[in-house]
Amino acid sequence: MSGGAARAAVLARVRSALADVPAGEPGAAVPAVPAAAAPDDLAGLFADRVADYRATVTRCAADDAAIAAAIGEAFARHGAGSSVVAPGVPEAWRAAAPGPEVDEPALALERLDAVDGVLSGCALGIAETGTIILDGARRSGRRAITLVPDLHVCVVLAADVVAGVAEATARLGAAIVAGRPVTLVSGPSATSDIELDRVEGVHGPRRLEVVLAG
Protein backbone atom coordinates (compact mmCIF):
# COMPACT_ATOMS: atom_id res chain seq x y z
CA MET A 1 0.00 0.00 0.00
CA SER A 2 1.40 3.39 -0.96
CA GLY A 3 1.81 6.19 1.57
CA GLY A 4 -1.14 8.08 0.09
CA ALA A 5 -3.38 5.01 0.13
CA ALA A 6 -2.42 4.21 3.73
CA ARG A 7 -3.24 7.77 4.78
CA ALA A 8 -6.61 7.58 3.04
CA ALA A 9 -7.37 4.25 4.76
CA VAL A 10 -6.53 5.66 8.19
CA LEU A 11 -8.65 8.76 7.65
CA ALA A 12 -11.55 6.63 6.39
CA ARG A 13 -11.47 4.61 9.62
CA VAL A 14 -11.42 7.80 11.69
CA ARG A 15 -14.45 9.16 9.80
CA SER A 16 -16.25 5.86 10.26
CA ALA A 17 -15.59 5.88 14.00
CA LEU A 18 -16.95 9.44 14.24
CA ALA A 19 -20.03 8.82 12.10
CA ASP A 20 -22.46 8.55 15.04
CA VAL A 21 -21.12 11.58 16.92
CA PRO A 22 -23.81 14.32 16.99
CA ALA A 23 -22.90 17.42 15.04
CA GLY A 24 -21.73 20.21 17.28
CA GLU A 25 -20.74 17.96 20.15
CA PRO A 26 -17.68 19.53 21.79
CA GLY A 27 -14.49 17.55 21.78
CA ALA A 28 -13.04 16.26 25.02
CA ALA A 29 -9.59 17.33 26.06
CA VAL A 30 -7.07 14.51 25.90
CA PRO A 31 -4.61 14.67 28.76
CA ALA A 32 -1.05 15.12 27.67
CA VAL A 33 1.41 12.33 28.29
CA PRO A 34 3.00 13.18 31.63
CA ALA A 35 6.66 13.96 31.35
CA ALA A 36 8.99 11.42 32.90
CA ALA A 37 10.44 12.38 36.23
CA ALA A 38 13.67 14.17 35.54
CA PRO A 39 16.69 12.68 37.27
CA ASP A 40 19.03 15.06 39.02
CA ASP A 41 21.73 14.63 36.40
CA LEU A 42 20.23 14.16 32.93
CA ALA A 43 23.60 14.47 31.23
CA GLY A 44 25.12 11.86 33.51
CA LEU A 45 22.30 9.40 32.86
CA PHE A 46 22.55 10.05 29.12
CA ALA A 47 26.31 9.39 29.19
CA ASP A 48 25.82 6.09 31.04
CA ARG A 49 23.13 4.87 28.65
CA VAL A 50 25.08 5.85 25.52
CA ALA A 51 28.13 4.02 26.83
CA ASP A 52 25.96 0.91 27.41
CA TYR A 53 25.46 0.85 23.65
CA ARG A 54 29.24 0.64 23.09
CA ALA A 55 29.68 4.27 22.12
CA THR A 56 32.71 6.14 23.45
CA VAL A 57 31.66 9.13 25.51
CA THR A 58 33.91 12.12 26.21
CA ARG A 59 32.60 14.75 28.61
CA CYS A 60 33.97 18.28 28.39
CA ALA A 61 33.13 21.88 29.17
CA ALA A 62 30.66 23.68 26.92
CA ASP A 63 33.10 26.23 25.48
CA ASP A 64 34.30 25.92 21.90
CA ALA A 65 37.94 25.30 22.84
CA ALA A 66 37.08 22.32 25.04
CA ILE A 67 34.69 20.89 22.47
CA ALA A 68 37.26 21.26 19.69
CA ALA A 69 39.90 19.49 21.79
CA ALA A 70 37.53 16.59 22.46
CA ILE A 71 36.66 16.34 18.77
CA GLY A 72 40.32 16.21 17.78
CA GLU A 73 41.03 13.47 20.32
CA ALA A 74 38.04 11.44 19.14
CA PHE A 75 39.19 11.41 15.52
CA ALA A 76 42.80 10.73 16.55
CA ARG A 77 41.76 7.63 18.54
CA HIS A 78 40.72 6.04 15.25
CA GLY A 79 43.59 7.34 13.13
CA ALA A 80 41.16 9.29 10.95
CA GLY A 81 42.81 11.48 8.32
CA SER A 82 39.76 12.85 6.51
CA SER A 83 36.22 13.82 7.39
CA VAL A 84 32.97 15.27 6.18
CA VAL A 85 31.31 17.92 8.33
CA ALA A 86 27.65 18.90 8.61
CA PRO A 87 27.23 22.46 7.25
CA GLY A 88 25.85 23.85 10.50
CA VAL A 89 28.76 22.73 12.67
CA PRO A 90 30.48 25.83 14.12
CA GLU A 91 33.79 26.81 12.55
CA ALA A 92 35.61 26.38 15.86
CA TRP A 93 34.55 22.72 16.02
CA ARG A 94 35.07 22.12 12.31
CA ALA A 95 38.72 23.10 12.48
CA ALA A 96 39.40 20.21 14.87
CA ALA A 97 38.25 17.58 12.37
CA PRO A 98 40.91 16.06 10.07
CA GLY A 99 40.84 17.33 6.49
CA PRO A 100 37.30 18.62 6.90
CA GLU A 101 35.06 18.80 3.85
CA VAL A 102 31.81 20.65 4.47
CA ASP A 103 28.80 18.89 2.99
CA GLU A 104 27.65 21.99 1.13
CA PRO A 105 27.02 21.47 -1.71
CA ALA A 106 26.19 17.87 -0.94
CA LEU A 107 29.09 15.50 -1.48
CA ALA A 108 28.63 12.46 -3.70
CA LEU A 109 28.03 9.12 -2.02
CA GLU A 110 31.33 7.87 -3.43
CA ARG A 111 33.12 10.68 -1.60
CA LEU A 112 31.25 9.97 1.64
CA ASP A 113 32.33 6.36 1.35
CA ALA A 114 35.96 7.42 0.94
CA VAL A 115 36.31 9.68 3.99
CA ASP A 116 37.29 8.28 7.38
CA GLY A 117 34.59 9.89 9.47
CA VAL A 118 31.85 12.47 9.91
CA LEU A 119 31.41 15.30 12.40
CA SER A 120 27.93 16.49 13.29
CA GLY A 121 25.92 18.04 16.04
CA CYS A 122 22.43 16.87 16.90
CA ALA A 123 18.99 18.12 17.84
CA LEU A 124 18.51 16.34 21.16
CA GLY A 125 19.67 13.56 23.41
CA ILE A 126 17.30 11.37 25.43
CA ALA A 127 18.63 10.48 28.87
CA GLU A 128 16.40 7.48 29.59
CA THR A 129 17.31 5.65 26.40
CA GLY A 130 20.74 7.07 25.57
CA THR A 131 19.44 8.06 22.16
CA ILE A 132 20.77 10.82 19.92
CA ILE A 133 18.26 12.53 17.64
CA LEU A 134 19.35 13.95 14.30
CA ASP A 135 16.66 16.16 12.80
CA GLY A 136 18.06 16.89 9.35
CA ALA A 137 18.79 20.54 10.21
CA ARG A 138 22.15 22.07 9.34
CA ARG A 139 23.92 21.08 12.54
CA SER A 140 22.72 17.46 12.29
CA GLY A 141 23.42 17.33 8.56
CA ARG A 142 21.62 15.29 5.96
CA ARG A 143 21.00 11.67 6.78
CA ALA A 144 23.51 10.22 4.28
CA ILE A 145 26.56 11.83 5.88
CA THR A 146 25.86 10.17 9.23
CA LEU A 147 25.19 6.74 7.71
CA VAL A 148 27.90 6.20 5.10
CA PRO A 149 31.25 6.99 6.82
CA ASP A 150 32.36 4.31 9.29
CA LEU A 151 33.09 6.71 12.15
CA HIS A 152 30.62 9.24 13.55
CA VAL A 153 31.78 11.93 15.97
CA CYS A 154 28.68 13.63 17.35
CA VAL A 155 28.60 16.64 19.66
CA VAL A 156 25.71 16.66 22.13
CA LEU A 157 25.20 19.75 24.27
CA ALA A 158 24.14 18.87 27.80
CA ALA A 159 21.53 21.63 27.55
CA ASP A 160 19.89 19.65 24.73
CA VAL A 161 19.47 16.45 26.76
CA VAL A 162 15.87 15.77 27.77
CA ALA A 163 14.52 13.16 30.14
CA GLY A 164 12.36 10.94 27.97
CA VAL A 165 10.89 10.11 24.59
CA ALA A 166 7.67 12.09 25.15
CA GLU A 167 9.57 15.32 25.81
CA ALA A 168 11.82 14.73 22.83
CA THR A 169 8.88 14.07 20.53
CA ALA A 170 7.20 17.29 21.63
CA ARG A 171 10.32 19.24 20.69
CA LEU A 172 10.60 17.72 17.23
CA GLY A 173 7.40 19.28 15.92
CA ALA A 174 9.13 21.85 13.71
CA ALA A 175 11.30 19.24 12.02
CA ILE A 176 8.35 16.96 11.38
CA VAL A 177 6.18 19.76 10.01
CA ALA A 178 9.03 20.82 7.75
CA GLY A 179 9.28 17.27 6.42
CA ARG A 180 12.87 16.75 7.52
CA PRO A 181 14.01 13.17 8.19
CA VAL A 182 14.44 12.36 11.88
CA THR A 183 17.05 9.75 12.75
CA LEU A 184 17.37 8.12 16.17
CA VAL A 185 20.84 6.81 16.99
CA SER A 186 21.42 4.48 19.93
CA GLY A 187 25.04 3.40 19.67
CA PRO A 188 27.01 2.15 16.67
CA SER A 189 25.05 0.44 13.92
CA ALA A 190 24.50 -3.20 14.88
CA THR A 191 22.26 -6.12 14.11
CA SER A 192 22.30 -9.89 14.69
CA ASP A 193 22.57 -12.69 12.17
CA ILE A 194 20.51 -15.87 12.27
CA GLU A 195 22.77 -17.29 15.00
CA LEU A 196 22.25 -14.11 17.05
CA ASP A 197 25.88 -13.14 16.60
CA ARG A 198 26.27 -9.37 16.75
CA VAL A 199 27.24 -7.79 13.42
CA GLU A 200 28.25 -4.13 13.41
CA GLY A 201 28.31 -1.58 10.62
CA VAL A 202 25.65 -3.09 8.35
CA HIS A 203 23.34 -0.07 8.31
CA GLY A 204 25.59 2.74 9.51
CA PRO A 205 28.87 3.60 11.27
CA ARG A 206 30.54 0.88 13.31
CA ARG A 207 32.12 3.44 15.61
CA LEU A 208 30.30 6.21 17.49
CA GLU A 209 32.16 8.87 19.46
CA VAL A 210 29.96 11.17 21.55
CA VAL A 211 31.31 14.49 22.78
CA LEU A 212 29.00 15.53 25.61
CA ALA A 213 29.56 19.21 26.30
CA GLY A 214 28.45 20.95 29.47
Q: According to the model, what pLDDT value does residue 131 have?
A: 97
Q: What is the mean pLDDT of residues 124-137?
A: 96
pTM for this model (two decimals): 0.81
Q: Is the pLDDT of residue 200 over 90?
A: no
d(CA 113, CA 110): 5
Q: According to the model, what pLDDT value does residue 188 have?
A: 80
Q: According to the model, what pLDDT value does residue 46 have?
A: 97
For the chain, the structural domain boundaries read: 39-213
Compute the 3-state secondary structure of the chain and give helix, strand, coil in percent, each to the nearest 5: 30, 20, 45
Question: What is the per-residue pLDDT across 7-22, written as a single tens digit (0 to 9) for each?
Answer: 888 888 888 888 888 8
Right CATH for 39-213 from 3.40.50.10420, 3.30.365.10, 3.30.70.1450, 3.30.870.10: 3.40.50.10420
Q: Cβ of 144: how many Cβ atoms within 10 Å?
A: 17
Q: According to the model, what pLDDT value does residue 208 have?
A: 96
Of the candidate ranges 37-46, 48-57, 133-142, 194-203, the one whose mean pLDDT is the lowest: 194-203
Q: What is the mean pLDDT of residues 94-114?
A: 97
